[in-house]
């Protein structure tokens, strides 16, 4: 089980087990060199010009986002293309898309910890950071869609003068609890993983200001063996708790649809199908981020091609899970003979206006494109990896869009049928949210250790670390 993902079918039979063991460990590194390399990325003098260029681009998008939000607060949600049958569209699409992306971080950091997958060490910090920022982006959409976001606290149960409570039988209230729990737990997990690394940065910083900043963040961590003992236990427990959490979050998100009676939504396959889609888009995002990052920061020995290859395999597997969801949906609709369901799915496949075209593009992006990863050469080719990841990300967004737009525009009452047409504000809100992600992620790369130094040291041969020699 534990070695399932690390089996390399291209390995020649004669290749020794020892070399396979070391494939995910940076070659020729020692504790000192790992520390030096990763902490210099943070503490090193000067920020590169290209970082500023990317940061400026991100800030530009984020500026658009802020401007849209201000305009939205002035005018109300009417600036979006939503209408009476399609009461929410881009906002919920982007919400589901972002929160799905966030899932890979917890998968990598929690489930792979429990499975002793040592290759996670190179990418878990990046993936966890990605989770935090993606969930932040996700959270803005339902808040903005509230119409009067300043009353967001009405979603929380607290004794109030209106003597009212949130309706706990509604999946939308479950969403509030699921997403806020997910954000809190992911943040704690991420921060806890960084405490020992903050101690390293504190001890290495020469600048008094950074000594204080990282010293505060490290909370006086002094690498005591007795502390490590409790730390490891708490970390393992957090991983164990985050694992059912990550499954539950997207299941709850899918309940927003599955609990309702709309044709095309009321289906039991939704929770697992949503979780699979979330993992697919999340892994696509991890690949799309790590391919450029490993070159930009010169960490090719930490995030090796072998790491990318494992992720490509997971991408392929989750692409099948997700596609199974599509086909099962179609099949169940066909066999059920439900008139309204059949009509909605006919629209999705060969139907009207823009939807059918998007369906076939989606199927290409999500199902056909990842099939390239059957071929080992493509799993190790960064250009292919990056392009397929971007296609998958685009495909997953379109899939959620279709799911929401088609069902809502063709419900049970033909007199209320209507088509959703996005306005420029819809598009700008979505594109702008990418700016929020880019800005926060770039800040993370500059100021926080992007690879876990303490776990990496424990992985080196002869370290007697937790994962060493497994």
Binding site for another protein (CB under 8 A): 30-32, 35, 157, 163-165, 167-169, 171, 173-174, 177-178, 181, 184-185, 188-189, 192, 196, 199-200, 202-204, 215-216, 219-234, 237-238, 241-242, 244-245, 248, 252, 255, 454-455, 457-458, 462-466, 468
Of 95, 89, 90, 123, nearest to 287 by C-alpha is: 123
Taking the complex as a whole, the smallest distance from the CB of residue 32 to another protein amounts, in Å, to 4
CB of 403 closer than 8 Å to CB of 348:
no
Helix 31-43 crosses helix 171-204 at what angle (to 10 degrees)?
Answer: 110
Q: What angle do CA 250, 164, 166 make, to 5 degrees?
A: 5
Of 413, 439, 371, nearest to 136 by C-alpha is: 439
Q: Judged by CB, which is closer to another protein: 245, or 288?
A: 245
Cβ-Cβ contacts under 8 Å for 425 (sequence gap 6 or more): 68, 71, 72, 79, 80
Of 25, 61, 40, 32, nearest to 427 by C-alpha is: 61
CB of 165 closer than 8 Å to CB of 112:
no
d(CA 257, CA 26): 45
Q: Judged by CB, which is closer to another protein: 153, or 168?
A: 168
Taking the complex as a whole, the smallest distance from the CB of residue 381 to another protein amounts, in Å, to 34
Q: Judged by CB, which is closer to another protein: 252, or 445?
A: 252
Taking the complex as a whole, the smallest distance from the CB of residue 395 to another protein amounts, in Å, to 29
d(CA 265, CA 248): 18
Q: Judged by CB, which is closer to another protein: 342, or 466?
A: 466
Taking the complex as a whole, the smallest distance from the CB of residue 123 to another protein amounts, in Å, to 18
Q: Judged by CB, which is closer to another protein: 114, or 216?
A: 216
CB atoms within 10 A of CB 41: 17
Taking the complex as a whole, the smallest distance from the CB of residue 213 to another protein amounts, in Å, to 12
If you ran DSSP here, which 8-state letter would residue 222 be given?
Answer: -
Q: Can you say whether the dihedral through the CA atoms of 259, 263, 267, 271 is positive or negative? A: negative
Q: Judged by CB, which is closer to another protein: 21, or 382?
A: 21
Tokens 């030096």, residue located: 36
Tokens 């696509």, residue located: 284
Taking the complex as a whole, the smallest distance from the CB of residue 229 to another protein amounts, in Å, to 3
What is the distance in angstroms between the CA of the first residue and the CA of the last residue of the chain? 13
d(CA 24, CA 20): 8
Q: Judged by CB, which is closer to another protein: 61, or 247?
A: 247
CB of 382 closer than 8 Å to CB of 308:
yes
Taking the complex as a whole, the smallest distance from the CB of residue 338 to another protein amounts, in Å, to 21
Q: Judged by CB, which is closer to another protein: 200, or 322?
A: 200
What are the Cα distances from residue 317, in Å, to 71, 351, 370, 426?
42, 30, 9, 33
Taking the complex as a whole, the smallest distance from the CB of residue 220 to another protein amounts, in Å, to 4
Taking the complex as a whole, the smallest distance from the CB of residue 356 to another protein amounts, in Å, to 35
Q: Judged by CB, which is closer to another protein: 191, or 321?
A: 191
């Amino acid at each position: 089980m534990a070695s399932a993902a690390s089996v390399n079918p291209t390995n020649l039979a004669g290749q020794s087990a020892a070399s396979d063991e070391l494939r995910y460990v940076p070659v020729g590194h020692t504790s000192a060199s790992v520390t030096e390399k990763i902490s210099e990325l943070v503490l090193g003098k000067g920020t590169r010009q290209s970082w500023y260029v990317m940061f400026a681009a991100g800030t530009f998008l984020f500026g658009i986002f802020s401007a849209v939000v201000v305009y939205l607060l002035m005018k109300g949600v009417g600036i979006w293309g939503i209408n009476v049958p399609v009461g929410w569209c881009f906002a919920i699409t982007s919400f589901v898309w972002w929160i799905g992306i966030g899932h890979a971080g917890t998968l990598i950091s929690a489930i792979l910890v429990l499975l002793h997958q040592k290759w996670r060490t190179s990418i878990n910090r990046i993936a966890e950071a990605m989770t935090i920022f993606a969930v932040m982006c996700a959270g803005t959409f339902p808040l903005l869609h509230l119409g009067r976001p300043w009353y967001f606290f009405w979603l929380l149960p607290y004794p109030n003068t209106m003597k009212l409570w949130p309706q706990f039988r509604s999946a939308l209230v479950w969403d509030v609890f699921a997403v806020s729990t997910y954000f809190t737990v992911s943040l704690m997990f991420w921060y806890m993983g960084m405490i020992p690394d903050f101690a390293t940065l504190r001890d290495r910083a020469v600048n008094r200001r950074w000594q204080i900043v990282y010293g505060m963040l490290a909370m006086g961590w002094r690498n005591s063996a007795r502390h490590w003992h409790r730390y490891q236990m708490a970390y393992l427990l957090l991983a164990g708790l985050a694992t059912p959490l990550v499954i539950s979050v997207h299941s709850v998100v899918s309940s927003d649809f599955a609990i309702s009676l709309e044709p095309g939504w009321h289906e039991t396959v939704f929770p697992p199908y949503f979780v699979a889609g979330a993992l697919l888009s999340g892994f696509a995002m991890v690949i799309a981020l790590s391919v450029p990052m490993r070159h930009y920061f010169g960490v090719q020995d930490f995030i090796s091609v072998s790491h990318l290859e494992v992720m490509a395999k997971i991408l392929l597997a989750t692409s099948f899970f997700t596609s199974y969801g599509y086909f099962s949906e179609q099949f169940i609709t066909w066999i059920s003979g439900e008139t309204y369901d059949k009509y909605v799915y006919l629209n999705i496949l060969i139907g009207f206006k823009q939807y059918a075209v998007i369906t076939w593009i989606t199927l290409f992006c999500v199902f056909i494109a990842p099939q390239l990863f059957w071929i080992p050469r493509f799993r190790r080719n960064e250009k292919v990896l990056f392009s397929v990841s971007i296609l998958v990300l685009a495909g997953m967004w379109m899939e959620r869009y279709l799911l929401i737009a088609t069902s809502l525009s063709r419900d049970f009452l033909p007199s209320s049928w209507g088509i959703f047409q996005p306005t420029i504000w819809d598009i700008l809100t979505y594109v702008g949210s990418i700016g929020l992600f880019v800005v926060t992620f770039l800040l993370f790369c500059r100021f926080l250790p992007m690879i876990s130094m303490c776990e990496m040291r424990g992985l080196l041969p002869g370290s007697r670390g937790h994962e060493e020699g497994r």
